[in-house]
Structure 1
Amino acid sequence: MPDGGNFARNPRPAERKFAGHPDPTAPLPPTARDGRGATANPQNRFETTTRHAFDDGWSTLAETFAELPPLPTTLTPERSRSAMAWNDSPDIGFDRSLNPYKGCEHGCVYCFARPSHAYLGLSPGLDFETRLFYKPDMPALLEKELSRPGYVPRPVALGANTDPYQPVERTVALTRRVLEVLERFSHPVTIVTKSAGVLRDVDILGRMARLNLVQVCLSVTTLDPRLARIMEPRAASPARRLAALRALTDAGIPAGVLAAPMIPGLNDAEMERILEASQQHGAIHAGYVALRLPLEIAPMFESWLNHHMPDRARKILALVRDMRAGALYDSRFGVRQTGTGAYAELMARRFALAMKRLGLDRAGRGAKGGEIRLDCSHFKVPGAQLALF
C-alpha cells in the first residue's frame, strides 16, 4: 500500500471529511499508459481493502499521475495440473478449451477474460495486459489427457479465454507445441485470434486441414486503424488480419471472421463492411458477439470511454443498457452473447441479412456464425496399436 498521505485504507465515515480537499472517496485518477488498453488498474473483486485518492495538501497527487512511465510486460511460468478446461455452458459451441496463456498483451479494453486475473490476486486492468503467465508443461499434460482410456474426441477451442498468438508467443512458441501434439493425435481444433502470427504455423494447420481437423477465425472488430489502436493497442492492424485471412484460405485452411465485440454507437455500424471485407479475403463463415461487460469490466469500460471519447460516452452507455435490460450486462445464458431489446434485435437482423447477401450463411450453422464441421474420426493415440503386440 503506497504511503505519503495520498491514500486511505477503508476510511470510516468520520474520516471522510477533509476541509479544503477533494472528496477522498473519489476513484484514483486515470493511469493510462502509452501502448496499453486499460486506463486504470482497479482492485479486483476479491480484495477486502479499498483505496481512495486525495491531495494531502502538498499538491503531490497531480504530480504523481502527470507522467507515468511505460509498463513493461512480465512473463511468469505457471505449473498446471491439467491442460484442458471444460465447460457445460449451453450457449457456447465447444465443451473443452486450451489456454496456453493467462492475461493478454493485446490490451483489448473490452476483453471478457479480464476478470479471470482476479483469481491470481491481480487487477483486471493494466495487470491483465502486463503481468502474463504461461504453462510450459501444457503440451506434456495434453498428451497424457488425450491418451487416457475412454477419452472421446471433440473439437477443442485453442485460446478461448486469451489469444494464443499474442506477442509473447513469438519467443515462447507454446501454442505451436500444443498444435504439434494435436496433430500427432489427429485431434480437431478451432482457433480464434487477432494476430497475423497464426501464419507462422501454416505448415501444421495446412496438414491438419487436409484431414478436416482445423478451422481458424480472425477476430476483426473494426476496419479503422485509428480506432483499433485505441481499442486493441497491441493486436495486429485490421489490414494485417484480413491479409492473414486471405493467406490462410489460399493455403487451404478453412478460415472465417468473428466481428466481436459489436459495441453499439461505436463500431456496430461497421458490421456489414467487416463481413464484406472478410468475405472478399476468403472468409467462408462468420459470427458476431455483442459487447459483454461482466464484473470489473463494466466500470473499466466506462472509464475508458470517458477518457478517449468523452463526447460519445453517454450515448454509447445508453445503447449498451438498452441491449441489457437497463443494466450494463446481462449474464443469462442465451442472451449474454447477443443482448435483448429493439437495438439487439436490429443488430441480429442486420447480421443475418449480410450473411445471406454474402453467401456466408451456407457454410456453417447459420446466422449465429457458422463453423465448419470438423472430423473426429481420425483421432488416434500414437503408438497405441503397437502396444497391443
Structure 2
Amino acid sequence: MFHVKHSAIKGRGAQSGAVPTRFGLAAREVDGDWRDHVASLDGPPVKLRTTVTEERPKSILTFNQSPDVPFDRSINAYRGCEHGCVYCFARPTHAYHELSPGLDFETRLFAKPDAANLLRKTLAKKGYSPKPIAMGTNTDPYQPIERDWRITRQVLEVCLETRHPVTITTKSDRVLDDTDLLTALAREKLVAVSISITTLDPVLSGKLEPRCASPAKRLKALAKLIELGIPAHCSISPIIPAITDEFLEGIVARAADCGVRSINWIPLRLPHEVAPLFREWLGVHYPERAGKVMSIVRDMRGGRDNDPNFHSRFKAQGVWADLIRSRFAVACRRAGIGKARFELDCSRFRPPAPGGQLSLL
C-alpha cells in the first residue's frame, strides 16, 4: 500500500490545532469566505511562537481522591507545556479554556507567579496536615519557560522553609538548576525526583517530544542527582508499541549505569483529544506503521484507543502488555535494579513564619 507522507510542523509535537467539541465549542464550518483560502492567499503560516499569560488562581494546591495515583495533592506552576510531547495525557485540559489541546497546548502557555505565596497561605492554615506534594503531574515544572519565571524554584523554597515533602516529575535536565535546594531537601528526606525517558534515539525524541532535553541529557541528569545524594527514579513513560518499545532494555541498562535503583514503565495513554492528535502524528511521521501501532494499542486497552477506568488506566492487558512486562522484569534483573522506595519524612513540617519571612532558627 502506498502512503503519502505529509510535512511535519518543525519543532512541534501536535500537527494541528483543531478545537474540540466536548465542551460545546462550536467548530467553524467551511462557508467559502477568505478564511477558507488563507493559506493560498498569504502563503504558508509563519513560525509558531510561544506566548505566556499570567494566571492568578485563588489557590495552588489541588487535592484528589484518585485510588490509583500515589499522591493526594499536587501543584502545577504552569498550564500547557512547551515540551510538546504529542502523547501528553494532559493536553485535553486546554479544552476547558476554549483552547486547542493540539498546538495551543504547547504554544499558548499560562504561568502562575503567585504559586509560592498561595502555597504558603495554604500551609499556614490551622489544621493543615502534610503529605508529599507532587509537581509535574500535569505539565512539566521544568519546561523551558521555568528558566525565566522560576516559579518551581520558588515553590521548592517554600517546601524547604516549611520542611514539607515534595516529589518532582520532569523530562528536563533543567532540574539541575535547583540542586542547591534539592540537596538541602534530600538531607531532610523531603524530596524525590523522577525523570522520564521515552527513547534513546535523539531523532525519534525530536519527533515525539520536540522541546524536551535529549535522552542523553536526561540520563546525565539522573546520574548527577544520584551523585549528589538526591533520590532519583527513572520512568520509561510512555512505552509506545512498535515505536519506542525497542528501547526498553537499553533504557533500563543505561539507567542502571547511572546508579538508578528505582524504575518503572507506563503504557501509552490516549484520552479524549490525544487519540486523534496521536493518529495524526503517526500519519505524518510513521504512516507505514500507523495501523500496526494503533492495533497493538487497542489490544492493550481492551479494544479501545484508551481505557479511562481507575486501576486499569495506568496498566495494560493482553499478550503485548504481558510481553513488555516480562521484558521489563528480565531487564531489571540483569541490571540489578530492584524495587527501591523513597520514603519521605512528613513529621518535620512546620507552618511558614508570619509574613513569609524565613526562620533563622
What TM-score do the two structures reach when normalised by structure 2? 0.92
Which one-letter code corresponds to 2:65 in the other structure? Answer: D
Q: Does 1:378 pair with 2:354?
A: no
- Structure 2 residue aligned with 1:42: 18
Q: For the structure 1 residues 65 and 230, does the alpha-carbon distance in structure 2 shift closer, same or farther, using more than 3 Å as the test? A: farther
Q: Per-residue displacement from partner, 1:215-235 (whole Å, max 9, x unpaired)?
A: 111110000000000000000
CA distance in 2, matches of 1:346, 1:51: 45
Which whole-Å CA distance do the structure 1 matches of 2:69 and 2:344 have between them?
Answer: 16
Tell me the CA shift for residue 62 of structure 1. 6.4
Aligned to 1:225: 202
Q: Are 1:205 and 2:175 counterparts? A: no
**Corresponding residue for residue 96 of structure 2:** 119
Evaluate the alpha carbon distance shift between residue 173 and residue 31 of structure 1 in structure 2; reply closer, same or farther with a 3 A threshold: farther
Superposition pairs of residues 180-191 of structure 1, within 5 angstroms? 180-191=157-168
Unaligned runs of 5+ in 2: 1-5
1:33·1:69 contact (CA, 8 Å) conserved in 2?
no
Greater mean alpha carbon deviation, residues 184-193 or residues 276-285: 276-285
| CA spacing shift, 1:53–1:33, aligned 2, 3 Å | farther
- How does 1:142-153 map onto structure 2 within 5 Å? 142-153=119-130
Corresponding residue for residue 291 of structure 2: 314
> Residues 78 and 110 of structure 2 are in contact (CA less than 8 Å); yes or no, is this contact kept in structure 1?
yes
4+ runs deviating over 6 angstroms = 54-57
Rg: which structure is higher?
Answer: 1
- Across the aligned residues of Structure 1 and Structure 2, the Cα RMSD in angstroms comes to 2.2
After superposition, the Cα gap between the structure-2 partners of 1:34 and 1:376, relative to the gap in structure 1 and judged at 3 Å, is same
Which of 110, 119, 126 is matched with 2:87 structurally? 110
CA deviation profile, 1:317-374 (whole Å, cap 9, x unmatched):
111011111110011111111221111122222222322332322412xxxxxxx111
By relative contact order (CA 8 Å, sep 6+), the higher-ranking structure is: 2
User: Do structure 1's residue 69 and structure 2's residue 46 form an aligned pair?
Assistant: yes
Structure 1: distance between partners of 2:298 and 2:346: 41
Alpha-carbon distance, 1:48 to partner: 3.8
Query: In the alignment, residue 376 of structure 1 is paired with which amino acid?
Result: C
Give the CA deviation at 1:382: 3.8
CA deviation profile, 1:2-47 (whole Å, cap 9, x unmatched): xxxxxxxxxxxxxxxxxxxxxxxxxxxx895321110000112224
Task: Tell me which amino acid in the other structure corresponds to 1:81.
Answer: K
Distance, in Å, in 2 between the alignment partners of 1:76 and 1:56 is 31
* SS of equivalent residue, structure 1 residue 209: helix
Work out whether residues 25 and 98 of structure 2, in 8 Å CA contact, stay in contact via their aligned partners in 1: no
- Structure 2 residue identity aligned to 1:318: S
Partner Cα separation in structure 1 for residue 78 and residue 279 of structure 2: 26
In 2, the alpha carbon distance for the partners of 1:55 and 1:287 equals: 52
| Per-residue deviation, residues 119-146 of structure 1 (Å, max 9, x unmatched) | 1110100000000001111101101111
2:105 is equivalent to residue 128 of structure 1 = yes
Q: Calculate percent identity across the aligned residue pairs.
A: 49
> What amino acid maps onto 1:375 in structure 2?
D
Shift of 1:164: 0.2
Q: 2:57 aligns with which of 70, 75, 80?
A: 80
Aligned residues between the structures: 349
Match of 2:278 among 301, 313, 332: 301
Kindly tell me: are residues 288 and 65 of structure 1, through their superposed partners in 2, closer, same or farther at Cα, counting changes over 3 Å?
Answer: farther
- Cα separation, 1, equivalents of 2:170 and 2:198: 12
1:212-361 paired onto structure 2 within 5 Å? 212-361=189-338
Deviation at 1:272, TM superposition (A): 1.5
Q: Which residue number corresponds to residue 166 of structure 1?
A: 143
Deviating more after overlay: 194-203 vs 334-343: 334-343
Change (3 A) 1:315 1:51: farther
How far apart, CA to CA, are the structure 1 residues paired with 2:185 and 2:25? 49
Q: TM-score, length-normalised on structure 1? A: 0.85
Deviation at 1:67, TM superposition (A): 2.5
CA distance in 2, matches of 1:128, 1:64: 27
Check the 8 A contact 1:33/1:70 in 2, yes or no: no
Per-residue CA distance 1:98-129 (angstroms, 9 max, x = gap): 10000000000000000000111101000000
